[in-house]
Amino acid sequence: MTDATASGPVRVGERSLLGKLEGSVSWILLGLVGLLLPLLDDSYIGVIAQRAYIYWILSAGLNLVVGYAGQIAIGWVSMLTLGAYTTAALTAGTATDPWHPYLALIAGGVIGAAAGVIVGLPALRLRTFYFAMTTLGFATIVTQVALAWKSVTGGGVGTPGPVFPWPFDPGWGFYYFCFILAALATWMTANIASSRFGRALVAIRDAEVAAEASGIAKPRLLIAVFLFAGALGGVAGGLFASLQSYITPDAFTFEISVLFFIAILIGGRGSILGPALGTIILTALPEFAAPLVQWSTFLYAALLLVIVLVIPGGIADLLDYKNRRPLEQHREIVPRPDLLGRVLGGDGRSRGKSTIALRDIELHFGGVRAIDGLDLEVRSGEVHGLIGPNGSGKTTTLNVISGYYRPNAGQMTLDGAELPFALPHARAGYRISRTFQTPRLVGAASVLENVMIGGTVHGHGTFTESILALPRHRRDERHLKAAALQALATVGLESLAQVRADRLQHSELRFIEIARALMLKPAFLLLDEPAAGLSAEEIRRLGNLIKASSREGVGVLLVEHHADLIFDICDRVTVLNLGKTLAAGTPNEIRSHREVVSAYLGA
Amino acid sequence: MSIKRRTVLTGSAAGVVSLTSGLAAPAIAQSDPIRIGYLPALTGPSSSTGVGINRGVQLGIDEINAAGGINGRKLELIVRDTQSEPTKAVNAVAELTQRQKVGVIFGPVNSGEALAATPLIARDKVAMLHPCWVDELIDVKKYPMSFRIAPTNTQVGGGANYYVVDVLKLKKVAVISDTTGYGTASVNTYVPMLKAKGVDVVYQGHVDAANPDLKPDMLRMQSAGAQVVMPWSVNAGFLSRILNTRGAMGWDVPVVGQTTLGSGQTKALLEKPENWNKVYSNNFRNCCYVDGKLPPRAQAFVERLKKSKIEMGDTLLWWIALGWDGAQMMAQTFKAAGTKSDEVVAYWNKIKDWPGVYGTVTWTPEQHNGFPDREVVMCEVNSLKDGAFNLAPGYNS
Amino acid sequence: MFASIVSYGLAVGAVYALIGITYNVMFSASRVFSFTAGMLGMLGGVLGALFITEWGLPTIVGLVLVLACGAVLGIVTEIVTVRPVLKSIDQHLYVLSTLAFALMIQQLTAIWWGTDARPFPRLIPIGPGWLDQQFWLPMLACAVTIVGLELLYRKTLIGRAFLAIAEDAYAARALGLPETGLRMASYALAGMIGALAGFSGAEILLAFFGNQAILNFYGFVPVALGGMGSNRGAVIGGLALGVFQQAANFLVGGIFAAVAVFAVFIVVLLLRPEGLAGAATARRV
């Protein structure tokens, strides 16, 4: 990978450094204000600030759940409740011998983490709205249990909150405690957000199918995130109990939950700074708008509606002036197939030959036979074209190979070994990658980040290493970034690396998808109508790129309508009709196949 | 969006100090108003008590100011609506003690807010006058500057228990509450008290106030042979359901319990006016009619309210009286002892038989609960007139 | 006791069922679950008490006005919170927009109507006991709604158009059906059903702003368990839920009933995300 830092990457790397500096100015300012706030010697401002820090510690974790992973957890106040009661009860010694308050706070975090997973589990299976409801239900249950379990929680009378001893004793000591933990929470969530895990979360949110194709295992990742967010919520709860001095179940209202949630959305999904500002604003605002105090929830709700309808990107979008700079008007995509060797790694001829084989595959949707006894072989170093009229089963076949559909009958093998049905995220492990008929990209992420998603499985660091930005995490990031820039240079789009993907033209999106697919260093590349919507010149360049990748040893399955492209670059062509093979052979054989000509090519 | 390590410039700290010193509050001149911190719940789900008390507080302050204030200084209420939310109360305490530097705080009214606010106010060494009943709020060791101008929950329950056991002579009791802090705490305190009086508590339970049907619990009470139902809740919906269910079951059992049994909201939710018969709620001797007449202090107070056109029909006389007493107590203290917290506390520690409209208050350095037991009584709820009730039958005055 | 469990449980269950149908009608028209279902139920009670008790209007006029308000709110929901986010339905922004709208209305109610539960008038003063109108009114409303919806869907052109949209919006649009208009009509219909639910159940639930959250959750449980879009599932689920809750109230007490309902909800959904009666939907790639 040493040679990966060729001409292009260095240039882009510099720009991103500048971007980072721009981004951190706000953080430095916020940090300075936080550090110096005690000089005002106004405990009232101190209490409001402590509250904002505590709420932010929770929201920082929730931000990964809501803002990044897109899971609508409305009832996250339950983590605050659990953390608060755990810390308070352990410190008070109502359940066990009294614990040291700092240990009790850690226990609050642990309980929060466990509860985060419990609440999070349904998200793996349930639809969005269902999940929102279960989080609400869980919050209700936690409060009910707090009411009922009198011996430990004090029931409705409540229980005193912990008082942390020196150095973080009540007053400014506790203030700095909250400040430091809030800063830590920010740092850790920012690390995750900028890691391959953060990008994977956003991919799950906005392009779940593509995330699976890139080998992202949603359950494991989401559980890790729920665990982390729950822990932060639990710690926030312990601090909350101390700030409140006394906790009763009625302190944990649905309104607080809504506040957390709305703060994140006002801040903007996929941002850390935005939600942090949102939390500060929503915590402080009611204090300065005392006459409006009974309208506060109404105003939050109104704000939420406006945000959703008018500026879905929230504050973060408003601050993102970088992406409002106009793009160059007449851009050209000039792929550099000569770079393919480096992107795919190593010498093409040194890679072994391998074959995906489909035998007698059948797939029914209700009474419709989408695929009806299909045989197909895709071999390394060959471009295999799959053509046929609409509804003949081309994309369906591709979806069977990439694991989205489970066939009703038949066999699928990779070099003789069984290739399991219906495990889309496992395909990346077999180095089978793909593109989609409609490009599946994360519009809110940069082109570079989108491409880096494709290399998620190549990372070695764990989630915890990313939280703490340990060396392996940094190495992963460095390698992924270099590889992604290389892939972008290969498809001819490296100049757009820092641009938000949703600002690009359709043809550019097609090539970005190919770059993302190349990140896997694929043995097989499944392309679903990659030429749709491209100009003649772009199709020609695409053809060269595909041909070059097959020369590098990649086995390509090309679903396409453009007959010219198929016949130009394919080594083999299969013609489908009504889920069956109508004809198969070399382009020349197909071109002269009578049935095909009359039925499909229309001569 | 990664975060760079922050570096703090040592020079900047000094700059901020010089900047802020200009913002420090100037010394309080003698003609400035005397500021009183006040933490009522005026909005939110349990605010009807706060609204009632607020009428008395505002009237008291207005009257004192109209008469020239205290030694030429007006009283100024710094009001922070807690909205029945403990988090709001905590923020408000910091504002009142640290920024407004008040010498005395009156409130909060609701238990959740009062429990959270009291330790914080004590930490900031500000004198505190409690209208709230929760027992834990008064503790001369932990909170030496907190005083209560109202009865404790124990006293209130004791008053009801006394009526049930010693006046009505009933031995089988059902005690029910909603699941709020107030409700559960009340049941947990009163049941042992009843048992200590030799009573058989045949039913004891907490029911979510949002639960629309109380028939299961009422049936359980009935089948357990309860002779009296004692509900503890400030939720009018909950209490009215108890009364309506009793009516629908045709169960002729007295209901003895919380003040809200007699509130206008409870009345409005009754299916039949008869459901309000044989219902006795907590009240206070000074604010009850005996033979159609209020005691002289209360009678004079009602005249005063009528003169100032204070609405009484939709609230309770004792709520207004409690607020008014609070204002009077603070004004008298400022006049006699001064406005600083320690002056106030020193004065309060020696209050003896202070004649309030609501109650006769006595405090000592060892006892900051000042309400006398014998003034906690029960009243007949269906006799509501101008916010006050008839003393329940059976007391020998 | 048994009579009380059944009559009471069925009455509350009928309200849940109607809220469930409200969810369904909106879902069928737009593939959107809306937090406004509980809001409509809450408003049915509050507006009914406002019109009949406060303003002194005749019961029937009050009911018509309540239904009209429900319909208007339904249409507003569609225009303000659903239509703008339908384009990007995969992002599930409707969860947020409908939640925001429902919260706004709830807070307005809390401010103007008050946070205390207020009484709802007795509409038809017939007998006490389990024959009391407060028990059979919700059941009657539920029955009328079900029969009415069946007739609408089977016998009228617009009803069939509703079904066509629910079945396959693309195909329906291709046939030239006015999708937007039909969606608005569906939301108006849902608004009326939700308001009717609240109106008919308000003698039990009272005119109370806090009913919104309760109805949102307990109205959704039958939909989730019965399978989305299935009115039959919603009715069976709703009635079962009401009776179960009531039985739990009698046998173990309120807090445990809430925990039990939640536990059943979670477990069933984890085992069968499509609901007990629902069919799994194929994913689109």
Using DSSP, state whether A196 is helix, strand or coil. Answer: helix
**Which range scores top for mean pLDDT: A1-5, C7-11, C97-101, C279-283?**
C97-101
Average the pLDDT over A134-153 and give the result: 86
pLDDT greater than 90 at residue A389: no
- Residue A193: band (very low, low, confident or very high) from pLDDT cuts 50, 70, 90: very high
Contacts of B215 in chain C (CB under 8 A): 4, 8
Check if A310 contacts C (Cβ < 8 Å).
no
Rounded average pLDDT over A540-553: 93
Domain boundaries, chain C: 2-271
**Between B167 and A41, the higher pLDDT residue:** B167
Lowest mean pLDDT among A12-21, A395-404, B48-57, C230-239: A12-21
Distance (Å) from the C-alpha of residue B237 to the closest C-alpha of chain A? 18
Q: For residue C262, which residues of chain B lie inside 8 Å, CB to CB?
A: none
ipTM for the complex shown? 0.89
Residue C200 has, within 13 A of its CA and on its CB side, a CA count of: 28
* Nearest CB partner across the interface for C95, out of A129, A258, A399: A129
Q: Predicted confidence band at C104 (pLDDT cuts at 50, 70, 90)?
A: very high
Query: What mean pLDDT is reported for chain A?
Result: 88
Does the beta-carbon distance from C253 to B205 stay under 8 Å? yes
Taking only residues 10 to 69 of chain C, the set having a beta carbon closer than 8 angstroms to any beta carbon of chain A reads 33
Contacts of A136 in chain C (CB under 8 A): 213, 217
Q: Which two structure tokens, joined as six digits, stand for A391? A: 């509804």
Cα Rg for chain A, rounded, in angstroms? 28
- Among the partner residues B43, B211, B237, nearest to C249 by beta-carbon distance: B211
Place of tokens 């993907």: A501
**Which residues of chain B are within 8 Å of residue A255 when distances are taken between CB atoms?**
85
Contacts of A36 in chain B (CB under 8 A): 12-13, 16
pTM: 0.89
Q: Look up residue A526 and give its DSSP letter.
A: E
Determine the distance in angstroms separating the CA of C65 from the nearest CA of chain A, rounded to an integer.
25
Q: Determine contact: B187 vs chain C, CB below 8 A.
A: no
pLDDT (tens digit per residue) in B259-309: 889 887 788 888 889 999 999 999 999 999 998 899 999 999 999 899 988
- pLDDT, greater one: A593 or C74: C74
Measured between beta carbons, the chain C residues lying within 8 angstroms of B271 are: 122
Nearest to A80 by CA among A158, A139, A164: A139
Domain endpoint, select from A476, A496, A521:
A521
pLDDT band, residue A279 (cuts 50/70/90): very high
Residue A315 in contact with residue A491, Cβ under 8 Å?
Answer: no
Which H helix or E strand runs over B173? strand B172-178
Question: Which of C103, A52, A255, A160 is closest to B85 using CA atoms?
Answer: A255
Cis preceding linkage at A389, omega within 30: no
B94, A43: Cβ pair inside 8 Å? yes
B1 and A43 within 8 Å at the Cβ level: the answer is no
pLDDT at residue B25, as a whole number: 44
Of A243-257, B162-176, B330-344, C84-98, which range is least confident? C84-98
CB contact under 8 A, B269 and C128: no
| Contacting subunits of A (3+ beta carbon pairs below 8 A) | B, C
> C205 at the B interface (CB within 8 A)?
yes
Cβ distance A365 to C84 less than 8 Å, yes or no, reads no
Q: Kindly write down the DSSP assignment for every residue of C212-241, as one continuous string.
A: HHHHHHHHHHHHHHH-TT-HHHHHHHHHHH
Tens-digit pLDDT profile for residues A398-442: 999 999 999 999 999 999 899 998 888 899 999 999 999 999 999
Using a CB-CB cut-off of 8 Å, the residues of chain A touching C108 are 298
The CATH homologous superfamily of the domain defined by B154-290+377-391: Response regulator (3.40.50.2300)
Give partners of B (≥3 CB pairs < 8 A).
A, C
Question: Which chain B residues contact residue A253 at CB under 8 A?
Answer: 85
Q: At residue C238, does pLDDT exceed 50? A: yes
Strand pairing category for A580-585 and B75-79: unpaired
Q: How far is CA C38 from CA A298, C21, C23, C94, C99, in A?
A: 17, 11, 9, 15, 10
| Mean pLDDT lowest among A44-48, A217-221, A457-461, B4-8 | B4-8
The count of other CB atoms within 10 Å of the CB of residue C112 is 10
Asked whether the beta carbons of residue A128 and residue C95 sit closer than 8 angstroms, the reply is: yes
pLDDT band at A11 (very low <50, low <70, confident <90, very high): very low
Note down the domain range covering A126. Answer: 40-319
| In a domain? residue A550 | no
* CATH classification of the domain holding A245: 1.10.3470
Whether residue B43 has pLDDT greater than 70: yes
Question: Hey, are the CB atoms on A301 and C104 less than 8 Å from each other?
Answer: yes
In this complex, is the C-beta atom of C259 within 8 Å of any C-beta atom belonging to chain A?
A: yes
Predicted confidence band of residue A290 (pLDDT cuts 50, 70, 90):
low
Instruction: For the sheet with B146-148, list strands across it.
Output: B75-79, B34-38, B104-106, B127-130, B146-148
- Distance from the Cα of C159 to chain A's closest Cα (Å) equals 26
A559 inside domain: no
Chain C positions touching A218 (Cβ under 8 A) are none
Q: Spell out a b/e string for A406-433, using b for 16 or more CB atoms within 10 Å of the CB, else e.
A: ebeebebebeeeebebebbbebbebbbb
Tokens of A253: 């209202």
Any domain includes A599:
no
Using 50, 70 and 90 to split pLDDT, how confident is the model at A171?
confident
Q: Which residue in B has a C-alpha nearest to residue A40's C-alpha?
A: B20
Please write the tens of the pLDDT for every residue from B131-159: 998 888 999 999 999 999 999 999 999 99
Domains of chain B by residue range: 34-152+298-373, 154-290+377-391
Residue B42 has a pLDDT of: 86
Q: Which of A28, A156, A193 sits opposite B182 (nearest CB)?
A: A156
**Last residue within a domain, chosen from A266, A301, A319:** A319
Asked if A73 and A62 count as a contact pair (C-beta separation under 8 A), the reply is yes
Residues of chain C contacting residue A133, judged by C-beta atoms under 8 Å apart: 216-217, 220, 224
Give the pLDDT band (50/70/90) at residue A18.
low
Domain termination residue (choose one: A506, A521, A536): A521
* Assigned architecture for domain B34-152+298-373: 3-Layer(aba) Sandwich (3.40)
**Cβ of B1 and A40 within 8 Å?**
no
Average pLDDT over residues B194-217: 86
Shortest alpha-carbon distance between residue A373 and chain B (Å):
51
Q: Which of B211, B240, B315 to mutate to test the interface with C (most CBs of C within 10 A)?
A: B211
| Span A521-546, pLDDT tens digits | 999 999 999 999 999 999 999 999 99
CA torsion sign for A580, A585, A586, A591 is negative
| β partners of residue B227 | none
Q: Give the pLDDT of residue C280.
A: 52
- Above 60 in pLDDT, residue B116? yes
Give the integer Cα–Cα distance in Å for C258 and C157. Answer: 42
> A461 vs chain C: nearest CA distance in angstroms?
30
At residue A351, the pLDDT reads 60
Minimal C-alpha gap between B212 and chain C (Å): 6
Per CATH, the architecture of C2-271 is what? Orthogonal Bundle (1.10)
A4 — pLDDT class (breaks 50, 70, 90): very low
Residue B215 C-alpha, separation from nearest chain A C-alpha, in angstroms:
21
Across A63-85, average pLDDT: 94
Whether A314 maps to a domain, the answer reads yes
A86 in contact with C, Cβ within 8 Å: no
Q: How far is B71 from chain A (nearest CA, A)?
A: 30
DSSP string, A66-80: IIIS----TTTHHHH
Residues of A in Cβ contact (< 8 Å) with C285:
209, 395, 399, 404, 436
On the CB side of C247, CA atoms within 13 Å amount to 12
Q: Which of B43, B203, B213 to mutate to test the interface with C (most CBs of C within 10 A)?
A: B213
Contact C206 B215 (CB under 8 A): no
Confidence at A108, pLDDT banded by 50, 70, 90: very high
Residues of A in contact with C100 (CB under 8 A): 301-302, 304-305, 308
**DSSP 8-state assignment for residue A94:** S
